[in-house]
Homo-oligomer: A and B are copies of this chain.
Amino acid sequence: MSMNAVKYLEDHHDKLLEKLNAFLAIPSVSTDSVHNQDIIKAAEFLESYLEDIGFTNVSQMDTGGHPLVYAEYNEAGADAPTVLVYGHYDVQPVDPIAEWKSEPFKPEIRDGRLYARGASDDKGQVFMHLAVFEAFMKTEGKLPVNVKVCIEGEEEIGSENLYKMLHNKRENFAADFAVISDSGMVDHNQPTILYGLKGFTGLEVTVDGPDHDVHSGLYGGAVRNPLMALSHILASLKNEEEVVTVDGFYDGVEPMTDQERDLIKNVPGEDYESALGITETVSEKGYTAKEHTMGRPTLEINGMYGGYQGEGTKTIIPSSATAKITCRLVPGQDPERIQQLLEDHIQAVAPAGVRVHVKKENLSAKAYKVEPDHPLIQKAAESYTEAFGKETVFVRMGGSIPVVEWIEAIYHIPIVLMGFGTPDDRLHSPNESFPLDSFTQGMTTLAHYWTKVGQK
């Protein structure tokens, strides 16, 4: 059954790519309200595509923030399972814009890759699902499974309203299992099943000193410098061995087993040095870089600013300094507890003479882990292997998808993470791209999967 759909996808490759490009051309950046109209345009694109395919109850659900695109397909029969397909149509900001080789919202193919913001994360992968559904409808007249589609517009700002929607609209989103394509494979054309994701929490620290920038000659020696105070605070969070030095941070973290270390060792590794242009990797004392990124918690400063940033010198003590901090968490760590530990630590080490404010970011998620031998996972692995012609590997990864935790917490259903991105996709960075291989083989994988899970 899936072969007709696969042939349709091959025959219509160029037309589908053209349609994807129109979707990627919409600058649906959710973090900046200047793009609110573009967000609506992207949602309308999906609504219209889902209606054309033959979905019912297609709507832009009012979330209180950016709309959630919802749709249903109920014609697979009472025997067929119902799958919840989640994705997101919003994208990260594009700055620093000067570093893009082609415009972020004018998709361009270079060397077998499609370059555009959202090509991989996640508009490209959302589009693949719809194209596969189109292929089944056009060739078989029906889908092998019943489907509920949930495509949100706030993933890059923490899915603030999604939890409420999943919680309050249980009748809409209830399903037998969920499939999410918002992740990657460990290497180009290397089929990969993600069986674990990290959790997430974040906060912003502001250090206020004098009520205006003051002359460093006249007041240097009498005033605590907010940038120096913030540097001391930040330096106290993690040592040079990449160990987080916040009391209690590692409490409850499951030790990494030898079995898991072997598994990680066998995952084809990325050459971080050449991919990222760094002199050497650094990782938590006692763990390799792969072990740390996949299975150990992290703490990062994502941004920091204060004082004069222009050309030349300005001899001031700035009135204020700010840092944005996020943590990636593993099973055993509670995001709210970690947030509180960080706040307590920061206030405890805050020096005299400045006021330190901690703003807890309203977005956090617990880590997620599923058993790799679950039948729905095994069928996914088989589908990958058939489509890509290569054994599927099973990994945990450092990314966080809050929706995974929420679906599990609310619906208690298995969640299958079928991502097709690659390590070179430059998610969240300039020159984001997605391999055309992943586009075609990924759709083939999905076509096989729906057929396999639709069969009794």
Contacts and interface: CB of A to CB of B under 8 A. Distances in A.
Interface of A: 31-32, 92-93, 95-96, 99, 157-158, 184, 198, 200, 202, 209-225, 227-228, 230-232, 234-238, 240, 242, 272, 276-284, 287, 289-294, 296, 298, 300-318, 321, 323-324, 326, 328, 351-355, 361, 363, 397-400, 423, 426-431
Nearest to A430: B212
Given A31-B311, A221-B296, A301 B398 contact: no
B99 A289 contact: no
Contact of A298 (B184, B220, B323): B220
Chain A at the B interface: SS class: loop
Given A31-B311, A302-B317, 20 more contacts: A31-B313, A95-B308, A184-B218, A200-B315, A215-B429, A218-B399, A221-B283, A221-B398, A222-B281, A223-B276, A223-B281, A227-B234, A230-B231, A301-B307, A304-B305, A304-B306, A304-B307, A307-B324, A308-B324, A315-B428
Given A221-B284, A426-B212, A303 B308 contact: yes
A278 B313 contact: no
Contact of A317 (B238, B296, B300): B300
Copy number in this complex? Answer: 2
B93 A220 contact: no
A272 B223 contact: yes
A242 B217 CA distance: 15
A307 B298 contact: no
Contacts of A92: 314
B31 A279 contact: no
- Most chain B CB atoms below 10 A, which of A296, A304, A316: A304
Nearest to A213: B429
Nearest to A317: B300
Contacts of A301: 225, 227-228, 231, 306-307, 318
